[in-house]
Structure 1
Amino acid sequence: MDPRRMLRSSVLALVVVTGLVASGCAGGGEGPPARGSAAGKSPDAGPAAPAAELRPYYAQKPRWRACDTPGFQCARLTVPLDYERPGDGRTIELALARKKATGPGKRLGSLLVNPGGPGGSAIEYLELFAGTGYPAPVRARYDMVAVDPRGVAGSEPVTCLSGPEMDTYTQIDQTPDDVAEERRLAAAFRGFAKGCERRSAAVLPHVSTVDAARDMDVVRAVLGDERLTYAGASYGTFLGATYAELFPRRTGRLVLDGALDPSLPAREVNRDQTAGFDTAFRSFAADCVRRAGCPLGSGSPAAAGARLTDLFARLDARPLPTGEPRRLGEALATTGVLAAMYDEGAWPQLREALTGALRGDGAPLLALADSYYERAGDGSYSNLMFANAAVNCLDLPPAFTGPAAVEKASDAFEKASPVFGRGFAWAAMNCAYWPARATGTPHRITAEGAPPILVVGTTRDPATPYKWARALAGQLASGTLLTYEGDGHTAYGRGSDCVDTAVNRYLLEGTVPREGTRCR
């Protein structure tokens, strides 16, 4: 398990822990607040032209070409590396893709989509799902658009470790049993951070959520839209809320599905997620123990959790063979289990993987872990984990400063989840060694002046607990909460006609559901 990867739409795969939340950033738009400024301050003074040094960026004309994926168009845009110094000549190129509205009906503009992460490729999400999988009435009226955020995938990706180095890193014991193991874990986090600094030093201070939100305003202008229409999942909800905070009068219809609470410090974010994954596991376990042949037995969900804890302990002492040089130890097994919590559709695969592990075969659980880390068959990794750390460690001060602080808090994490709590607590130490200072602070986002914003929360969501959706909807001056009573991470486009109908009506007509609406 690795905390760097947090909050990602289940459509693309799976996720885990670590903090977020935005900082102010000076230099763009209509003169945004200084870095680290107080919450609630907005640079958006209405439809005024951008600052002089930013006008060339806002005036770009994208050169669309055919993407490698048929039916999609691709382009590249240039944005300042540092919005506090937009005229210093340093820039980042962003990858952009779209699928034109299919009709019939009047075109409503662009719908920008983001799957979360942080670090998930929005372009991959568009090409694999949103561009063809979003409800047809929405695709008919909107150009579906994605931009890989700075530091992610096609937009000058952050790089940290080689494939073999990542193989070693993902197997490090994250439930240390003694001081020597604590030191090895701390050394692994330091090594990861040093690798990022060595390979990506120039970009590391400039990949915060505020930077990405400012980029989205350039994208909005380049696409010719007066207001941003946006659908963000998981971490993408924080990106969308940050945009609304910075540019409330340029905000259009925002769907924030699987929401974050931006007012929480990193330690609380991690502890809440620990409880969220425990809730999801108990739901899985309750389903499993009712089935014949459940690998975790036929008793209560608590007893199933005890059996899983025992399996992790055995794997810690003696990793299983997998048919390849890597063996399945506790760390990779935990990651594989957590990966399946994102979508109840993965529960049958998890039951089979646990059955295999109990019979001495680690390959099925390893496959789940590899999908989580986006490890390819050739041993290479996407940059998801690298970008995830780079964004998270900028957006919030670290949850812990070192092993002693983790030890003091571990009881609270284990109370949140007897099965996963200890590992989550130690995993939350990763940002303690990050080379770029955090620029964000926890704060409420109200986005005063923005039109109605739709927040969607799932009651048994593992990665973004339902309480976060309630909190964000309550903070936003124009927020409305839509509740999905169910399992899995996020709700829109995952099979609920009730959720999809409510979201579609909002996107197409601007009408939010009645306050208190619940879907099953």
Structure 2
Amino acid sequence: MPRITHRAGALLLPLVLLIVAACSAGPSERPAVAYRGSQQQVPPAPAPPEPAPLPPLGPPAQQALGWQDCTERTRLEIGVSTLPEGMSFSCSRLLTSLSPPGAISSGTSRISLLSVGSGSIPLVVVNDIRGVPGTAFTARLALKLPPEMLETFRIIGMDRRGSGRSDPATCFPPAARETIVGFDPRATERAALDRLLDSVRSASQECLLELEKRAQAYDTWRTAADLEELRIELGVPRLHAIGRGEGSRVLATYAQRYPRSVGRMVFDGAPDPTLDALGRTKKQAREAERTFDAFAAQCTAGNACPLGPDPRRTVEDLIERTRATPLPGAGSPVTAGTIVRAILLGLTDPDRWHELVQALDAADRGDGTMLGRMVAPLLHGDAAHPPGLDSRVITRCNDTTLRVPPQRGVGIATELVDRFPLFGGVLAQQLVQCSLWPVPQRSLPVPSNPALPPIPVITTATDPLTPALGSEHMADRLAAGITVTWQGTGHGALGRSRCATLNASGFLVHGALPAENTACPA
């Protein structure tokens, strides 16, 4: 049965002095309790509301938004030679309000959309802000979904505000972007971290000048509002959706803000709602190290591993060498920071680990070109795909109230580099990147509505971005969170685990609830 979390508030029974005067008596102010003999009888607390029933799929979407065919453009973008017979893609844009919470008006924003599938029921996919744009992710996911999902739903991917083909939040000076991405991953001295802060200061000032009041409108809170505007434009009573990784936090925020609009939702990995940004960073660093160990074990399990019998030692030596002498690459030099970020990106998809092995092997022999290409989307862009770093940093800083002063930054960097030598420094720097950004007006809500419908939360045993334990905590906080555990590796299970994908499809299409604590083999 689904997990149901009960929360009962404390019942306060005030003690009332009844003062009886000899000549008069005031009105009774007794508390609402009854007495039998000498024992006080307290009325039982009301039972918490039951979770909402599973919503029906509902009516089809209205023919709105002016969809236009974009099949060939999308095929080239996702890098496939042919598409399954009958598969096509359509693209559109949604006009939404850009105003940050509390502001009167800051204009509008165009959100890029992609749809695929022959069904008539909308199913929206929300990807991580730190991943590929949502439209491209949805197109790739559609290639791996069961036919019944494509026949039932019109699957709609959305580029998060500020990213992909949506109106971009591109404001970092190129030099600051290069410094932030390539910064020394093992820097722990105050003087070194101050150089990072100089680049962060330059980037923050440039963004605040260029974006003005819009700068704080790129966040999860407003992205949830984008989803509600999309639901209204589609003309459907409830939003059915899939959230991947940090995109699940968008859906959790949506559920808190618009509980009556919640349809069937699946969270494929989710950030831990019980931890602050520092706590989540430490857990992510630990899981990233574990994922690298799985990557190294796979490399050494088969034929001769190009990284030698101890890939971790090989990579650590490579990082240490390039701290002083960057590698040549295609364009920019490939620094130690570039290498670590490339590894972290590569670990998210085990299907491409062979490419990561080749890139690290080439770097160990003095050529950083392949690793440089892996992080290029963070640094460089074009009219259709802006540099990814800007929207990632802006959204992350708008989503947390944590601001790390310089001296505390030294302590955090030292702790994480010592505990997690490969990834601790880079992840600590993400906290420092928000130091000079305005503090948001509100914290993101923690899931707490006791009357939401059941929501399956899929966890991946070794996930370098959203650790499994944090996803379990998200399921615990939902009114009826159902945990489906995939004993696999990488970021996200849908489309990679047949078991997890079929459980999600059965729930979304047929309303079949997965059994609590379903375990899917690796």
TM-score, length basis structure 1: 0.79
Partner residue of 2:422 out of 416, 419, 423: 419
Report how far residue 227 of structure 1 moved: 0.8
1:473 aligns with 2:475: yes
Q: CA deviation at 1:101?
A: 4.4
Structure 1 residue 483, shift from structure 2 partner:
0.5
Cα deviations across residues 110-159 of structure 1 (Å, max 9, x unaligned)? 10111212575322333x32454432211111111233333233332211
Q: Which amino acid aligns with 1:69?
A: T
Query: Partner amino acid for 1:196?
Result: C
Which amino acid is 2:392 matched to?
Answer: N
**Superimposed CA distance per residue, residues 167-198 of structure 1 (whole angstroms, 9 cap, x where no aligned partner):** 45432334326443222111111122122223
State the partner residue of 1:454: 456
Instruction: Report the counterpart of residue 237 of structure 1 in structure 2.
Output: 248
SS where residue 428 of structure 1 aligns? helix
User: Contact 1:245 / 1:448 at 8 angstroms: preserved in 2?
Assistant: no
Which residue in the other structure is 1:493 paired with? 495
Alignment correspondent of 1:389: 393
What residue is the counterpart of 1:91 in the other structure? 107
Residue 271 (1) aligns with residue 291 (2): no
> Which 10-residue stretch deviates more, 133-142 or 462-471?
133-142
Matched, 1:505 2:506: yes
Q: Does 2:312 align with 1:305?
A: yes
5+ residue gaps, structure 1 = 1-59
Indicate the residue corresponding to 1:125 in structure 2: 137
Alpha-carbon distance change, 484 to 177 in structure 1, aligned in 2, over 3 angstroms: closer
Counterpart of 2:466 in structure 1 is 464
Equivalent residue for 2:83?
none
The counterpart of 1:227, out of the listed 238, 262, 275, is 238
CA displacement at 1:311 relative to structure 2 = 1.5
For residue 356 of structure 1, what is the amino acid of its counterpart?
A: A
Distance in 1 of aligned mates of 2:509 and 2:385 = 38
> Shift in Å at residue 290 of structure 1?
3.1
Q: Aligned pair in 2 of structure 1 residues 422, 169: CA closer, same or farther (>3 Å)? A: closer
Distance 2:331 2:389 in 1: 22
Which residue of the partner structure matches residue 410 of structure 1?
A: 413
Paired residues for 1:301-380 under 5 Å? 304-322=311-329, 324-370=330-376, 373=378, 375=380
Cα separation, 2, equivalents of 1:260 and 1:312: 29
Task: Judge conservation of contact 2:483–2:517 (CA < 8 Å) in 1.
Answer: yes
What displacement does 1:326 show?
2.0
Name the CA shift for 1:93/1:318 in 2 (closer, same or farther; >3 Å): closer
State the Cα RMSD in Å. 2.7
SS in structure 1 of the partner of residue 435 of structure 2: helix
The 3-state SS of whatever aligns with 1:289 is helix
Query: Which residue pairs with 1:111 in the alignment?
Result: 123
For the structure 1 residues 442 and 240, does the alpha-carbon distance in structure 2 shift closer, same or farther, using more than 3 Å as the test? closer
How many residues in Structure 1 have an aligned counterpart in Structure 2?
446
Match of residue 72, structure 1, among 74, 77, 89? 89
The separation in 1 between residues aligned to 2:430 and 2:112, in whole angstroms, is 33
1:306/1:251 CA distance change after superposition, 3 Å: same
CA contact (8 A) 1:72 1:99 kept: yes
Give the secondary-structure state (helix, strand or coil) at the position aligned to 2:434.
helix
Unaligned runs of 5+ in 2: 1-61, 73-87
Contact 2:100 2:106 in 1 (8 A): no
SS of the residue corresponding to residue 433 of structure 1 reads coil
Q: 2:486 aligns with which of 474, 484, 487?
A: 484
1:327 Cα deviation from its structure 2 partner:
1.8
* Distance in structure 2 (CA, Å) of the matches to 1:295 and 1:100: 40
Letter in 2 for 1:97: L
- The CA distance in 1 between the partners of 2:244 and 2:440, in whole Å, is 23
| Equivalent residue runs for 1:3-152 within 5 Å | 62-69=64-71, 71-82=88-99, 88=104, 90-99=106-115, 101-102=117-118, 107=120, 109-118=121-130, 120-126=132-138, 128-152=139-163
- Judge which range, 273-282 or 115-124, deviates more: 115-124
Match of 1:52 in 2: none
CA shift in 2, pair 1:407/1:459, >3 Å: same
Shift of 1:500: 1.3
Matched, 1:433 2:436: yes
By relative contact order (CA 8 Å, sep 6+), the higher-ranking structure is 1
Contact 2:284 2:466 in 1 (8 A): yes
Structure 2 counterpart of 1:123, one-letter code: T
Is the 2:127–2:244 Cα contact (8 Å) retained in structure 1? yes
Contact 1:119 1:387 in 2 (8 A): no
Is the alpha carbon distance of 1:292 and 1:118 closer, same or farther for their aligned partners in structure 2, counting shifts above 3 Å? Answer: closer
Residue by residue over 1:11-40, the C-alpha shift from the partner in whole angstroms, topping out at 9 and shown as x without a partner, is xxxxxxxxxxxxxxxxxxxxxxxxxxxxxx
SS in 2 for 1:116: coil
Deviation per residue, 1:455-479 (Å, 9 max, x gap) = 1110001100001111000000111
Q: For 1:153-168, list aligned pairs within 5 A.
A: 153-161=164-172, 163=174, 166-168=177-179
CA drift at 1:248: 1.7
Tell me the amino acid that sits aligned with residue 220 of structure 1. R
Identity among equivalent pairs (%): 27
Quote the residue 1:12 is aligned against.
none
Instruction: Return closer, same or farther for 1:95/1:184 CA change in 2, 3 Å cut-off.
Output: same
Q: Is the 8 A contact 1:114 1:125 kept in 2?
A: no
Structure 2 residue aligned with 1:46:
none
Shift of the 177–102 alpha-carbon distance from structure 1 to 2, 3 Å rule, reads: closer
Would the aligned equivalents of 2:113 and 2:157 in 1 still touch at CA under 8 Å? yes
How far did 1:245 drift?
A: 1.2
> For the residues of structure 2 that align with 1:379 and 1:166, how far apart are their CA atoms?
18
The structure whose Rg is larger is: 2
Give me the TM-score of the superposition, normalised by structure 2.
Answer: 0.79
Residues 399 and 275 from structure 1, CA distance in 2 versus in 1: closer, same or farther, beyond 3 angstroms? farther
Q: State the Cα distance separating 1:343 from its structure 2 match.
A: 1.1
Aligned to 1:35: none
Residue pairs, 1:181-260, within 5 angstroms: 181-260=192-271
1:235 Cα shift?
1.2
Instruction: Tell me the distance in 2 between the aligned counterparts of 1:395 and 1:81.
Output: 16
Aligned to 1:25: none
CA distance in structure 2 between the aligned counterparts of 1:149 and 1:326, rounded to whole angstroms: 28
Q: CA deviation at 1:399?
A: 5.3
Relative to structure 1, the CA distance from residue 380 to residue 507 in structure 2 (aligned partners, 3 Å threshold; closer, same or farther) is closer
**Cα distance in 1 for residues equivalent to 2:234 and 2:432:** 40
Q: Shift of residue 440 of structure 1?
A: 3.7
2: CA distance between counterparts of 1:251 and 1:136?
A: 24
2:173·2:203 contact (CA, 8 Å) conserved in 1? no
